[in-house]
Amino acid sequence: MELQTLCVHGGINENDPTGAVEMPIYQTAMFRHHDIGEGGYDYSRQQNPTREKLEQLMAKLEHGREAIAFSSGMAAITCLMELFQPGDHLLATDDLYGGSIRLFRGVGEKNGLSFDFLDTSDLGMLAAKIRPETKAVFIETPTNPMMQVTDLRGAAKICREHNLLLFVDNTFLTPYLQNPLDLGADVVIHSGTKFLSGHNDTLAGFLVANDPKIMERLRYFYMSTGACLAPFDSWLLLRGIKTLGIRMERQQQNALALAQWLKRQSWVSRVLYVGLPEHPGYAVNADQSRGAGAMISFEVDSSTTALRLLRNVQLILFAESLGGTETLLTYPMTQTHADLPKEEREARGINDRLLRISVGLEDVNDLENDLLQAEKA
């Protein structure tokens, strides 16, 4: 089944005796049994038919054996960290979403783990940072918000040589544009809140893998800690994924046009979009994915210009998050990466002139006109 067709039909309810096409919302905490030892569902923290259908669809989309649906992307990453013991060491992309860095430092280190953050697009540096106690590598590609691209095949080769697990956050490109398991990753992470849901109306997270032993351990931690996705939210994700393909096609079309337009503006000093041929990761991204996605970061000529844009956009929404039908403008310095120390933020390029835009489904001419009027306000 082709990818677009799978998005549309993968969540259809094939076996309902009523003939209902859409998967019902099984809004129940528990399930009745008619005999001792009877199989089936027990308790919705452990499994629920609506969530199970969503997990089956996500596994198919990511070419994985199994998927687990969580109450948020951060809940998914938190569960992933339970694979490790005190004293274990992990390597991670230095330009991660700020919430991931906060989790690793504020919770992971408290629990005895250690982390080194580095530019994982430099495979030589990645290999050099591996220590005897290193157990895994955690990568975003493209990264949030500086749009660095890591060669996943190359990273996977290094991980195999050193017996390390490779985790890849695929939120930006989604399984519609990139499948990290096919490139050698062991676990794929998603914030389902973003493009998978696509409508800015629910929180969700996913872990997808092929190794049954890894998934057995993750599902044990998942059931024990209870960060499961609720039935109604599972249904919203099933609904959102139906239009994932057509949304991603339109949004990345808009993103390329907007990135090219931003390059021509005198008040823009730098545009970071992996779909531009001059982007340093363009060739790697083109080799390992089917598109560049809908995320752009750009730097303007002054903090005054950045604040003027944020305060005066009218159609574009000044808001955190990404991946919905509406275009969102975000200020990483005070929003997604506010918890990073100032020196660290600025060393990574996250300064008071940097803006991130999640391009939506609007007419791109309206987006350009909105930015123009905001810059002149």
Query: Is 97 among the catalytic positions?
Result: yes
For the question of residue 169 being annotated catalytic, the response is: yes
Contact 267, 375 (CB under 8 A): yes
Share of the chain above pLDDT 90, in %: 91
Q: What is the pLDDT of residue 220?
A: 96
Cβ contact 240:247 at 8 Å: no
Handedness of CA 241, 243, 248, 254 (dihedral sign): negative
Distance CA 216, CA 306 (A): 47
pLDDT value, residue 248: 98
What does residue 259 show for φ and ψ, rounded to 5 degrees?
-65, -40
> What residue numbers bound the domain in which 93 lies?
3-241
186 shares a domain with 102: yes
State whether 268 and 330 are in the same domain: yes
Q: Are 157 and 176 found together in one domain?
A: yes
Q: Is 220 part of the annotated catalytic residue set?
A: no
Mean pLDDT of 67-88: 98
> For the chain, what is the domain count?
2
Q: What is the DSSP letter of 182?
A: G
For residue 225, give both structure tokens: 């800690």
DSSP-assigned letter for residue 41? -
Weakest-pLDDT range from 41-50, 190-199, 334-343: 334-343
CB neighbours of residue 339 within 10 Å: 12
CATH code where residue 68 lies: 3.40.640.10
Q: Which of 195, 213, 241 is the last residue of a domain?
A: 241
| 109 and 257 within one domain | no
pLDDT, tens only, 93-138:
999 999 999 999 999 999 999 999 999 999 999 999 999 999 999 9
Determine the pLDDT at residue 1.
86
pLDDT for 36 equals: 87
Whether 230 and 258 map to the same domain: the answer is: no
Residue 13: predicted pLDDT? 85
- Domain shared by 195 and 217, yes or no: yes
Other Cβ atoms within 10 Å of 88 Cβ, number: 18
* Residue 39 clears pLDDT 80, i.e. is over it: no
* Average model confidence (pLDDT) across the chain: 96
**Same domain, residue pair 256 and 237:** no
- Of the residues 51, 53, 194, 242, which is catalytic? 194
Short-list 88, 173, 106, CA closest to 139 = 173
pLDDT over 70 percentage in the chain? 100
Summarised one tens digit per residue, pLDDT across range 310-324 is 999 999 999 999 999
**pLDDT score at 246:** 98
- pLDDT score, position 102: 95
Query: Are the CB atoms for 229 and 69 separated by under 8 Å?
Result: yes
CB 119, CB 94: distance < 8 Å: yes
**264 lies in the same domain as 138:** no
> Could you give the count of Cα atoms lying within 13 Å of 59 in the half-sphere of its Cβ?
17
Residues 219 and 358 in one domain: no
Mark whether 31 and 67 lie in a shared domain: yes
Q: Between these two residues, 348 and 127, which has the higher pLDDT value?
A: 127
- The H or E element containing residue 356 is strand 354-358
Q: Tens digit of pLDDT for each residue in 157-194?
A: 999 999 999 999 999 999 999 999 999 999 999 999 99
CA angle 205, 283, 198 (to 5 degrees): 25
91 touches 44 (CB < 8 A):
no
Q: At a CB cut-off of 8 Å and minimum separation 6, what does 271 contact? A: 259, 262, 263, 296, 297, 298
- Give the residue from 211, 241, 271 where a domain finishes: 241
Catalytic residue list contains 250: no
- Do 156 and 229 belong to one domain? yes
Which residue of the set 88, 94, 151, 169 is catalytic? Answer: 169
Write down the residue that tokens 């948020």 correspond to: 72
pLDDT tens figures, 235-266:
999 999 999 999 999 999 999 999 999 999 99
Among 185, 219, 241, where does a domain finish? 241
Strands 187-191, 165-169: pairing is: parallel
Query: How far is 224 from 54, CA to CA, in rounded Å?
Result: 20
pLDDT at 34: 84
- At 341, the pLDDT band (50, 70, 90 cuts) reads confident
pLDDT of res. 38: 78
> Which has the closest alpha carbon to 13: 239, 244, 246?
239
Catalytic residue among 41, 45, 153, 182: 45
Instruction: Name the nearest CA neighbour of 296 among 342, 249, 254, 246.
Output: 254
Q: Residue 34 CB: number of other CB atoms within 10 A?
A: 6
Provide the CATH number for the domain around residue 336. 3.90.1150.10
Judgement on whether residues 76 and 197 belong to the same structural domain of the protein: yes
Of the candidates 94, 95, 97, 176, the residue annotated as catalytic is 97
Read off the pLDDT of residues 273-288 as tens digits, 9 standing for 90 and up: 999 999 999 999 999 9
